[in-house]
Structure formats: C-alpha cells, structure tokens
Amino acid sequence: MLSQARLAVLCSGFGSNLQAIIDAVRSGRLSVQIASVISDNPDAYAITRARQNNISCVLLNPKEYSTRSAMDQAILSELGKYQADWVILAGFMRLLGPQVVAAYRNRILNIHPALLPSFPGTHAIKRAWEAKVPVTGVTVHFVDEGIDTGPIILQEEVKILDGESLENLEKRIHEVEHRLYPKAIQQVIDKNKIPNNK
Ligand code: GAR
C-alpha cells in the first residue's frame, strides 16, 4: 500500500500550468495530492485558482524578507509544514537558493517553454521566435543550482510555422505544457514510489 505523493506547487503568475495539474488530478490522469500552492507574487492569478479549488495557498512576498536566504528559509518552512514530497515549479520566476535545492534534491521539477539547453531563462518563447529557429518546444527537468540546467525528464518539440505570430506560438507551446507537465510528474513519481511508513 502506497501513500499518495504530496505536491507543493510554486507559482508567480497566471497559473495555467497549476490549472492543468489540478485538472489532471481531477480526471484521474495524475495520482497525487496537491498539498499547497505557494506564490511569491500577491497579484498572481494562481492564488485565485488555488482558492477556487480549495487548495491551501501561501503568499511569501519577497519584499518582507531582507535576504534571499531568509526567503528560502520561509519556503522551506512552508514545504515542511505541508509535508511536501515534491516541489513543482509552475511559472515560478525566482531562482531557488542552494538550501532549498539541497533539501529537495531530485524532488524539484520545473517546466520551461523551450527545448533546453536552448533558450534558458526568461522570455524563452519570444527569444526562440525572434531567433527564427525552425523548432522550439517544452522541457520538464529536475531543478539544480543553475538556471534551467538540471537533468531533463521529458521534452516535446514544437515546430515554428511559416509566418507564425508570437501569440499563436505561445498558445501552442502552452497547450503542450499543459499536457506534458502532468505526464512528467506522474512518470517521476512512479519511479520513486513512497512507502506508507516513510
Ligand atoms: C509557462 O510557460 C512556463 O513554462 C514559464 O512560465 C509560464 C508560466 O505560465 N516558465 C518559465 O519561463 C521558467 N523559466 P503559467 O503561470 O500560466 O503556468
């Protein structure tokens, strides 16, 4: 008998990937418990999504912490409080410090809207579109101390169409993200079954 994995989902913005995870849990495609949502942005729509779905939500405003390390301690404290097994970055636009990465080594996942190692960092869709590469895509990877450098879990290519607008490419990339992230999360969890008496 295995207990259900507990996820903490960290978001900074719109939260469409959070919604995709919620929908995947609801439809039975993803067998986890979303223990909490943590946001570093008081204006994040992800907070509203968490509330609408009766998920505990914590706002950790960086302005209230004098150092990055203090903010990381607050994140660690919340992860501990909610007994998170997995930390899921879903549009979390903040680099996690070494203390958090070390505490959850190989248990922090991130989704990135490009084919890593190409276009790490912010505005990846726009930069790939401006660079006129024929193919971009989506990557789900483990988080290490670098910026989008950790081991890759799943990737899917997205071809950039002739004359495609940035808006259309963004829409198609997000559609791939929403399908790929729940699948990658389930895959990683299945490989790391957590015994009940952990
Ligand atoms: C997503 O496209 C995600 O891949 C990206 O932010 C967006 C968040 O959207 N993350 C990064 O660029 C991380 N480097 P969402 O808030 O609607 O899920």
Atom of ligand 1 nearest to the CA of 124: 12
On whether the 6-191 domain is CATH 3.40.50.720, my answer is no
Q: What percent of the chain is predicted at pLDDT more than 70?
A: 96
Tens of pLDDT, residue by residue over 174-197, are: 999 999 999 999 999 999 975 554
Residue 71 reports pLDDT greater than 70: yes
> Could you give the CA distance from residue 63 to residue 67 in angstroms, rounded to a whole number?
9
- Give the closest residue to 62 by CA, choosing from 93, 104, 16: 93
In this structure, which residue's CA is closest to atom 6 in ligand 1? Answer: 91
In this structure, which residue's CA is closest to atom 3 in ligand 1? Answer: 91
- The whole-number average pLDDT for the span 83-92 is 98
Q: Residues near ligand 1 with C-beta < 6 Å?
A: 11, 13-17, 90-91, 111-113, 124, 148, 174, 177
> Could you give the CA distance from residue 134 to residue 141 in angstroms, rounded to a whole number?
22
- Give the closest residue to 153 by CA, choosing from 196, 120, 112: 112
**Contact partners, residue 63, CB within 8 Å, separation at least 6:** none
Q: What percent of the chain is predicted at pLDDT more than 90?
A: 95
Residue 2 reports pLDDT greater than 70: no
Tens of pLDDT, residue by residue over 98-155, are: 999 999 999 999 999 999 999 999 999 999 999 999 999 999 999 999 999 999 999 9
Quote the pLDDT of residue 198. 45
Residue 92 reports pLDDT greater than 70: yes
Mean residue pLDDT of the chain comes to: 96
Q: Is residue 123 annotated as part of the catalytic site, yes or no?
A: no
> Could you give the CA distance from residue 62 to residue 67 in angstroms, rounded to a whole number?
9
Quote the pLDDT of residue 197. 42
- The whole-number average pLDDT for the span 78-99 is 97
pTM here is 0.95
